[in-house]
Amino acid sequence: MLTIGICDDEASYRELIRSFCSQYLNTCKQEHQFVEFSSGEEVLSYQGDKIHLLFLDIEMSGMDGLEVMEKVRGNDLIWRIAFVTSHKELKWDTIDLKTLAFLEKPADKIGVETCLRTVIRENRENIDISFKTITGECFMKLDEIIFIRAQGNYVNIRSKESELMGYDSIKTMEEQIKGTTMLRAHKSYLANLQYVRKINRDELQMTNGLQVPLGRKYYQSVKEAYHAFLKNVALDRSKRA
């Protein structure tokens, strides 16, 4: 089930985007539901299902779209955002790992469909990572894991919400995450590029304030992968859809 959020203080614009979304999602037989908001404040008070894509107007009375983005950066209920505005000059202010696209207002059918194709693909690529725990097999979405640390024959899985011990080797975990945003940063660490704030010569600064050691032999490959990630995911998503 794909949940689409639409936030605009004008009902006519909400209805326009909803119509484009419905046409596309019904055509590709993607199960979906909508959540509508007339203000940024309503978005921040939302406690429902995870919103996979939020179409967010920048210029609204009260809290504007850029303020909303600042406040939902660490909010897992809002997964991706497509900003909608008539002011092109605001495009660079919207860049963030949650940002899927920047659409000129009024949003057109092609732009909306491009966003939907991209979020469907990225949601599909957000694979389940499995590991054994004392209570049995556990599954966690890739984008929930910040890093994985080897501890002898076991692994420590650090997410935004918890820290779990897995009865697996770091090699076994690495085999699962090949081709994803998680990669080897050190002989004892796998790090998720989605949570890297800054790369230093010998460590990664993560968005939760923790540091992950960066091995010398991995420095160049991690640096190149991170820059490619920022370009492909944060800046050029709409071109890749």
The answer to whether residues 62 and 119 belong to one domain is yes
pTM of the shown model? 0.73
Looking at the structure, do residues 7 and 117 belong to the same domain, yes or no?
A: yes
Q: Do residue 113 and residue 217 come from a single domain? A: no
Same domain, 116 and 157: no
Output the six-digit token pair for 196: 């890297």
Whether 144 maps to a domain, the answer reads yes
Is 240 inside a domain boundary? Answer: no
Which pLDDT score is estimated for 53? 96
DSSP state, residue 172: H
The verdict on 61 and 83 lying in the same domain is yes
Task: Name the token pair of 173.
Answer: 């975990």
Looking at the fold, whether 8 and 73 belong to one and the same domain comes out as yes
Q: What is the CATH number of the domain that holds 146?
A: 2.40.50.1020
pLDDT for residue 240: 42
Q: What is the pLDDT of residue 90?
A: 59
What is the rounded distance in angstroms from the CA atom of residue 126 to the CA atom of residue 5? Answer: 20
Total domain count, the chain: 2
pLDDT tens digits, the chain, 241 residues: what are they?
999 999 999 999 999 999 999 999 999 999 999 999 999 999 999 999 999 999 999 888 888 888 898 888 777 789 999 999 876 655 555 666 678 788 988 999 999 999 999 899 888 888 999 999 988 999 999 989 999 999 988 999 999 888 999 999 999 999 999 989 999 999 999 999 989 989 999 999 998 889 999 999 999 999 999 988 877 665 445 444 4
Last residue of a domain, one of 125, 142, 163: 125
210-217 LR contacts (CB < 8 Å, sep 24+): 210/146, 210/147, 210/158, 212/147, 212/185, 212/186, 213/185, 213/186, 213/188, 213/189, 214/185, 214/186, 215/185, 215/186, 215/187
User: Which range of residues forms the domain containing residue 217?
Assistant: 128-234
Q: What is the CATH number of the domain that holds 57?
A: 3.40.50.2300
Q: Is residue 58 part of a domain?
A: yes
For residues 204 and 226, state if they share a domain.
Answer: yes
Using one digit for the tens of pLDDT, what is the confidence trace for 220-235?
Answer: 999 999 988 877 665 4
- Domain end point (choices 97, 125, 153): 125
Q: What is the pLDDT of residues 80-108, one digit of tens each?
A: 999 998 766 555 556 666 787 889 889 99
What is the reported pLDDT for 95? 62
Among 94, 125, 156, the domain boundary falls at: 125
Confidence at residue 213, expressed as pLDDT on a 0 to 100 scale: 97
pLDDT at 88: 65
- Residues with Cβ within 8 Å of 208's Cβ and at least 6 positions away in sequence, in order, are 146, 160, 195
116 and 158 inside one domain:
no
112 and 168 fall within a common domain: no
Whether residue 145 sits in one domain with residue 156 = yes
